[in-house]
Amino acid sequence: MKNGIGKLLMMVAVAALFISGCASTIQYGDAGSSKPVSKEFGSSDLQQIAEAMVDSMITFPPMVELTSGRRPVVSVDNVKNKSMQHIDTESITDSIRAKLIRSGKFRFIDRTTDAQAVEELKTQNDSGLVDKNKAVAFGQQFGAEFLLTSNFSEIRQKAGNTTDVYYKFTMSLKNLKTGILEWSDEKEIRKVFTRGTFGG
């Protein structure tokens, strides 16, 4: 009897080894996968937010009218991250900006690369290396007509084994001349995490 149970345990152990495999594996995954890995902010959440914001903005009737004959110049403000997580929020606005530029509806000013631009213009104008007729003069850049501002917030609730996380990303387009918000929209994401009885 005892011998039998021992053998059974042995077999189960051997079978477990076979089923789980002993070696670590690495493989390419789908960059557009929407499989939630954890309740934390993930790549699919970022993609969903970026797509929702861009779709909403380029189809909003006053925006369609505004962009029908020209491509307004927009500047992107830093995201106000009010969540409890450290998120690379610039990555969200970068995705949104890239999609908006590719839509052919808007043009953007990037203030984060100004230091390099000033350095380059100084070299062109002051170093004596560059032909004066071909050097780019100071003071010719465009000023942004609109400012794209955003807020990111999180509400987290926990009851027993269940954690419910709600993310909200709000974005607005502010007319810098008049101060009017020309467009605004928000994207909500809810994730529910239930801790398994045997899970770690």
Footprint on this chain of other proteins (rule: CB under 8 A): 1, 3-5, 7-8, 11-12, 15, 19, 30-36, 44, 47-48, 51, 54-55, 58-59, 64, 67-68, 99, 102-104
Phi, psi at 122, each rounded to 5°? -60, -45
Beta bridge partners, 174, equal 147, 181
CB of 107 to other proteins, least distance (A): 14
Instruction: State the maximum Cα–Cα separation within the chain, in Å, rounded to a whole number.
Output: 98
Which residue, 55 or 119, has its beta carbon nearer to other proteins? 55
For other proteins, the closer of residues 13 and 137 by Cβ is 13
Burial 159-168, CB ≥16 within 10 A → b, else e: eeeeeebebb
CB 173 to other proteins: min, Å: 16
Compute the least distance from the CB of residue 101 to other proteins, in Å.
10
By beta-carbon proximity to other proteins, the closer residue of 19 and 137 is 19
Which of residues 113 and 162 has its CB atom nearest to other proteins in the complex? 162
How far are the Cα atoms of 51, 133, 136, 142 from residue 125, in angstroms, in the given order? 41, 10, 8, 19
